[in-house]
Chain A
């Protein structure tokens, strides 16, 4: 029992130290420091929301355009950033392996955690600000909203577990990841809901894990103004399979990793 609590304490110290280190190296301590982590998702979501609002008017399919775009765009930036930052993460951080209590999983997890915290901060911040201007109504179901976020994060993290080691095996991956994450936007549930599709097409969309998560986020926000389609087990099975494959690949990378 005490061994477990010891290793838990070491693990917590490591994650905390790596988080602070990563935030320091990425954002420095000048001006707003680590708050930069939420600036990019905030700008992206805010500007795209304004653009859509101007182009399409206040509502579409009976829901607020601004809320719809923001609730879609921020998880999408989480996904794209987390995936692009996990490429070659082992090589970049290899010098940390001088300290045996730090494992390659810690690098991965910390990078993901920073993106996730940034995205959630940005979401909460923009929603609160817009709420005061009457542009963002309070969520109808906090439970669905959080469950959706949780599944979206789980999906992203598990994919990172697989992509990070693969990127060490092949340089091609690094080149094709940006275009792939762009092409998958229509299958990510970011800008459309399953109920807007023809009935025949709906079941196919549910094979894409982020769609289920996004539908739950939307249902949490809009309540009965939308009809959500989701399949939680697809997300879980996908995430577990990716994580398991990822762990095996990570072990292989670790064996071969050369540290200067």
Chain B
């Protein structure tokens, strides 16, 4: 289970500070697929970063009782000056995986071919997303933390993601931030709507989407 208890986050803003999250409570159990809805700047990415432990809450607690992927998004998690292969080797080392297996999977899944020999900073956001997904699927987490990124890939990539994440690993948990009602509707069984720093948790996705549509 992954849980947030009364999580607050402030960011410095000029001389004052901005209260981005005002007491979020959320519990994600095994196999639950939670959609994260909210307008731009409502704190979706912040919440994803707090869940992933990339940043720490100003107050409140985040607890992780299952393995949780790093946030898969447009940025972060890679060293731009290193090649795709180097990044894969780095990930294999820190997660204690066999590099050979990881490389084979990444080559197959990402279809990046010769690009894997180039620095990641030369990649487009779609290519980064492929690499990030490939790496995190190769590591195998109980819960995947996804920030928007699933929509950037081409059709083929989306099909692959769909197969690996939603069919092959259907029992895994998922926390996904997206603006797309279709994605939330088809992949999630719960949702939380963020608005002005507070979060409303819905056990039915349609309710959440209605609420989001009225913001």
Contacts and interface: CB of A to CB of B under 8 A. Distances in A.
Interface of A: 9-10, 13-14, 16-17, 20-21, 24-25, 95-102, 254-260
Contacts of B75: 95, 260
Contact of A25 (B70, B82, B89, B96): B82
B212 interface: no
A146 to B, nearest CB: 30
Contacts of B86: 21, 24
Interface of B: 11-12, 49, 52-56, 58, 70-71, 75-79, 81-82, 86, 89-91, 93-96
Contacts of B78: 95
Contacts of B96: 9-10, 13
Contacts of B91: 99
A16 B54 CA distance: 21
Q: Is the interface of A mostly helix, strand, loop or mixed?
A: helix
Given A16-B93, A17-B90, A102-B94, A255 B77 contact: no
Given A98-B54, A98-B70, A258-B55, A17 B94 contact: yes
Given A9-B96, A260-B75, 6 more contacts: A13-B94, A24-B82, A95-B78, A97-B53, A98-B70, A99-B77
A258 B53 CA distance: 12
A20 B76 CA distance: 19
A25 B81 contact: yes
A100 B56 contact: no
Given A95-B76, A260-B75, A100 B93 contact: no
Contacts of B12: 256
- Name the residue among A14, A99, A101 with the largest chain B CB count within 10 angstroms: A99
Contacts of A259: 49, 54-55, 76
Contacts of A17: 90, 93-94
A9 B70 CA distance: 20
A80 to B, nearest CB: 25
Contact of A97 (B11, B54, B79, B95): B54
A186 B94 CA distance: 43
Contacts of A96: 79
Q: Kindly list the 9 A-B residue pairs having the minimum CB-CB distance in the complex, ordered from nearest.
A: A17-B93, A98-B77, A98-B70, A100-B53, A98-B76, A17-B94, A259-B54, A255-B56, A95-B76
A21 B90 contact: yes
21 contacts: A14-B93, A17-B90, A20-B89, A24-B86, A95-B76, A96-B79, A97-B54, A98-B54, A98-B71, A98-B76, A98-B77, A99-B94, A99-B95, A100-B52, A100-B53, A100-B70, A102-B94, A255-B56, A255-B58, A260-B75, A260-B76
B94 A101 contact: yes
Contacts of A9: 96
Nearest to A97: B54
B53 to A, nearest CB: 4
Contacts of A95: 75-79
A258 B75 CA distance: 13
Nearest to A14: B94
